[in-house]
Amino acid sequence: MTVCEYKPGLEGIPAAQSSISYVNGLEGILEYRGIPIQELATHSSFIEVAYLLIWGELPTQEELESFETEIRYHRRMKYQIGDMLKLFPNDGHPMDALQTSAAALGLFYARRALDDPAYIRQAVVRLLAKIPTMVAAFQMVRKGNYAIMPKDELDYATNFLYMLTEKIPTPYAAKVFDVCLTLHAEHTINASTFSALVTASTLTDPYAVVASAVGTLAGPLHGGANEEVLIMLEEIGSVENVRSYIETRIEKKEKIMGFGHRVYKVKDPRAIILQSMAEQLFSELGSDKYYDIALEVEKVVEEKLGAKGIYPNVDFYSGLVYRKLGIPDDLFTPIFAIARVAGWLAHWKEQLSVNRIFRPTQVYTGLHDMPYIPISERMAKADSNGH
Ligand code: ACO
């Protein structure tokens, strides 16, 4: 076996073969199963995209209708899960609540043979259907309210916003949210997807796969940059302050949140779509001074850092859009998870078809042949103050 060079973060090392999505960071291309993201954002829906990602091809009308119907009728959660959410601390992070409740689903739905297509289908339907209900329910119970039951007559995006805000959103707001889900549904082998693959490779149940991916997405280096963008825009406070704020941040070698990407060296195609949606949303629901500040930030950052390939990423405009839809800032990452469940499940299914348990190697940097020193002979260690 060839001994490979150790690469921190496995940068550039293929860890899987996949036909689910493709990214070309120099040309700003993102495709799901070969279909450009722009096409899907314009013509498709999140549920159709989930079907495409998981089953590999666009559904026929009949297939889509039966998939949507199944999801619609599995949105309710077990009352025990609702009771469990009530016991969580109100100030607990919604991502922690989601990770726990996603794992808890595994208690209710018996583990069955992973080569049974009916079991795979049921797990896909349940996870896509119930995760939004659990996110919305935690939001309600942490405010001291009863969780709002899903309404069967509402489509996926409309129903989620209804359960979250107690109001039926406008069709345009629901469409914008649905497109946001499509844009976040899949993005090759990022950290949470890799986590899902490793967990899947042990042949554990899909609820554990999704719970481990949610835990990975929760970290600030992965999900969550869109929250930071809003904090930054608030700190800037006005269009006039943008230039000096950005220049100071660049001088201090601080990152501008919502800019830059390991893969994209041009403007993230998802940011282009989100920006045009933000523009329409603000013209429909009222303008937002932070959107004007964001436009100026983009202009100044492009002028200063464009030559280094630093452009807006998907997180730059998504927080502004979510806030305008009435979504609290700490739900941005759980919403990312609602969308990414589709990608995680697609990778779970793909992993099962070629499974071999992940068991990489390591480069050992420790000692050898050390003596065991009896506790009575061990020297006291200096404390952290050096005493
Ligand atoms: N603002 C200012 N400078 C930046 C930024 C930024 N946002 N991003 C990268 N750079 C600069 C770095 O300072 C570095 O410059 P140098 O070569 O002069 O030292 C160079 O560009 C390369 O930066 P790295 O951090 O090495 O790039 P990497 O590929 O490791 O990081 C990352 C990508 C983490 C996304 C980074 O651009 C960043 O921290 N951005 C801000 C946070 C953010 O928006 N994250 C969301 C990413 S999208 C997502 O996860 C869904």
Q: Which atom of ligand 1 lies nearest, measured to the CA of 259?
A: 7
Residue 4 vs residue 6, higher pLDDT = 6
Residue 202 CB contacts under 8 Å (≥ 6 apart), including other chains: 357
The reply to whether 190 falls in a domain is no
In this predicted structure, the answer to whether residue 4 has a pLDDT above a threshold of 80 is: no
Whether the Cβ atoms of residue 316 and residue 271 lie closer than 8 Å to each other? yes
Total of domains in the chain: 1
Pull the structure tokens for residue 318: 């998504």
What confidence tier does 227 reach under pLDDT thresholds 50, 70, 90? Answer: confident
pLDDT at 386: 57
User: Does residue 55 lie within any of the structural domains?
Assistant: no
The pLDDT, as a whole number, for residue 185 is: 98
Decide: 50 in ligand 1 pocket, CB within 6 A.
Answer: no
Cα 265 to ligand 1 centroid, rounded to whole Å? 10
Q: What's the CA-to-centroid distance between 181 and ligand 1, angstroms?
A: 24
Dist CA 259 CA 30 (whole Å): 17
Ligand 1 midpoint to CA 258 (Å): 9
pLDDT at residue number 384: 56
Q: Which residue has the higher pLDDT, 384 or 253?
A: 253
Q: Looking at the domain assignment, is residue 309 inside a domain?
A: yes
Are 214 and 104 within 8 A, CB to CB? no
Mean pLDDT of the 356-381 span:
93
pLDDT greater than 60 at residue 96: yes
Please indicate whether residue 232 or residue 382 has the higher confidence score (pLDDT).
232
pLDDT reading at 347 higher than 70: yes
Residue 205 lies in a domain: no
DSSP state string for 54-99? HHSSPPPHHHHHHHHHHHHTT----HHHHHHHHHS-TTS-HHHHHH
Q: Could you say which of 155, 178, 315, 347 is catalytic? A: 315
pLDDT tens profile 166-189: 999 999 999 999 999 999 999 999
Q: What's the CATH code of the domain at 302?
A: 1.10.230.10
Q: Note if 387 is an active site residue.
A: no
Task: Answer whether residue 348 shows pLDDT above 80.
Answer: yes
Kindly name the residue from 187, 261, 268, 347 that is annotated as catalytic.
261
Reduced to 3 states (helix: H, G, I; strand: E, B; else coil), residue 35 is strand
Q: For residue 297, count other CB atoms closer than 10 A to its CB.
A: 26
Looking at residues 273-298, what average pLDDT do you find? 90
Q: Is 308 in the pocket of ligand 1 (CB under 6 A)?
A: yes
Which domain, by its residues, includes 300?
Answer: 225-324
Q: Residue written as tokens 């079907």?
A: 51
pLDDT at position 111 = 78
Pair 225, 317: CB distance under 8 Å: no
The pair of three-digit structure tokens given for residue 37, joined into one six-digit string: 């993201």
Residue 130 forms part of a structural domain: no
Residue 22 bridge partners (DSSP): 31
- Nearest atom within ligand 1 for CA of residue 309: 21
167 lines ligand 1 (CB under 6 A): no
Q: Please determine, for residue 112, whether its predicted confidence score (pLDDT) is greater than 90.
A: no
Is 256 a pocket residue for ligand 1 (Cβ < 6 Å)? yes
Residue 152, SS3?
coil
Ligand 1: which of 11, 23, 186, 259 to mutate, judged by most atoms within 8 Å of the beta carbon?
A: 259
- According to DSSP H, which parts of the chain are helical? 37-43, 46-55, 61-72, 79-87, 94-108, 117-142, 156-165, 171-184, 191-200, 206-217, 225-236, 242-251, 269-285, 289-305, 315-324, 332-353
Cβ distance 325 to 173 under 8 Å?
A: yes
In a domain? residue 256: yes
* pLDDT above 90: percentage of residues in the chain: 86
User: Chain-wide mean pLDDT for the chain?
Assistant: 94
Residue 172's alpha-carbon distances to 163, 177, 281, 359, in angstroms, are 17, 9, 8, 47
pLDDT at 197: 98
Q: What are phi and psi of 139, to 5 degrees?
A: -60, -40
- With a cut of 80, say whether residue 73 has pLDDT above it: yes
Whole-prediction pTM value?
0.93
Whether 237 is in a domain gets the answer yes
Would the pLDDT of 1 be above 60? no
Q: Is 310 in the pocket of ligand 1 (CB under 6 A)?
A: yes
The confidence score (pLDDT) of residue 2 equals 58
> Is 63 exposed, middle or buried (CB count within 10 Å of its CB: 0-12, 13-18, 19+)?
middle
Is 261 one of the catalytic residues?
yes
Whether ligand 1 lies within 6 angstroms of the CB of 183 is answered as: no
By most ligand atoms within 8 Å of CB, the mutation choice from 255, 264, 311, 322 for ligand 1 is 255
Q: What percent of the chain has pLDDT over 70?
A: 98
> Taking a C-beta distance cutoff of 8 angstroms, is the pair 205, 93 a contact?
no
287 C-alpha to ligand 1 centroid (Å):
29
**Ligand 1 center to residue 145 CA distance, Å?**
40
CB distance 97 to 85 below 8 Å: yes
Contact 186, 21 (CB under 8 A): yes
Distance 214 CA to ligand 1 centre (A): 23
**Closest Cα to atom 34 of ligand 1:** 261
Q: Quick check: is 173 in a domain? A: no
d(CA 112, CA 109): 9
pLDDT above 80: residue 381: no
Stronger pLDDT, 12 or 77, i.e. the higher one = 77
Ligand 1 proximity of 261 Cβ (cutoff 6 Å):
yes
pLDDT range class, residue 3, cuts 50, 70, 90: low
- The DSSP letter of residue 366 is S
State the Cα torsion 176-98-76-165 to the nearest 10°.
-40
Helices 332-353 and 315-324, interaxial angle, to 10°?
120
pLDDT tens digits along 244-285: 999 999 999 999 999 998 889 999 999 999 999 988 888 888
Contact in structure between 245 and 237 (CB atoms under 8 Å): no
Q: Report pLDDT for 336.
A: 96
- The Cβ of residue 224 has, within 10 Å, a number of other Cβ atoms equal to 20
Residue of 246, 304, 308 to test ligand 1 pocket, by largest number of atoms within 8 Å of CB: 308
Residues 113-135 as b/e (b if ≥16 CB within 10 A, e otherwise) read ebeeeebbebbbbbbbbbbbbbb
What is the residue with the minimal CA distance to atom 47 of ligand 1?
261
Residue 196 CA to ligand 1 centre (angstroms): 25
pLDDT the model gives residue 68 = 98
CA dihedral 27, 28, 34, 35 (to 10 degrees): -130
pLDDT for 286: 82
